[in-house]
Amino acid sequence: LPQEAGVFGAAVISTLGARLRVRAQPSEASATIGYVRNRTSYAILEFSQDGKWVRIGVPEGLNEGDSGWIALEFVTIRMGQ
């Protein structure tokens, strides 16, 4: 189900595979805290300063109200979904 719109609104995230790791911080060294599923809508909350990561709301496997970071190199984001 689509999540509530975030700061940038809701977006459909398409991953290169069936799912993508969600990190606690915008770093590959950061702990995996959940996953996003391919072609699923998430709230876009912010982008990292280096432009390589995006923070999304309520990724699969997390508690409602949580958020995490995904690497932009592995996704395509369609805003306004």
Domain span including residue 30: 9-79
In a domain, residue 4? The reply is no
The owner of tokens 């995490």 is 68
Report CA-CA distances (Å) from 60 to 1, 50, 51, 56.
11, 25, 23, 11
Q: Which of 59, 61, 67, 60 is nearest to 26 (CA)?
A: 67
Domain count, the chain: 1
19 domain-assigned:
yes
Of 8 and 55, the structure prediction assigns the larger pLDDT to 55
Tell me the C-alpha distance between 56 and 48, whole Å: 11
The yes-or-no verdict on residue 5 having pLDDT over 60 is: no
For residue 44, is it within any domain?
yes
Inside any domain, residue 33: yes
User: Which is nearest to 41 in space by CA: 61, 55, 59?
Assistant: 59
Q: What is the C-alpha to C-alpha distance for residues 21 and 4, in angstroms, rounded to an integer?
A: 21
Q: Does pTM top 0.85 for this prediction? A: no
**pLDDT on residue 30:** 95
Q: Is residue 3 situated within a structural domain?
A: no
The CATH number of the domain holding residue 50 is 2.30.30.40
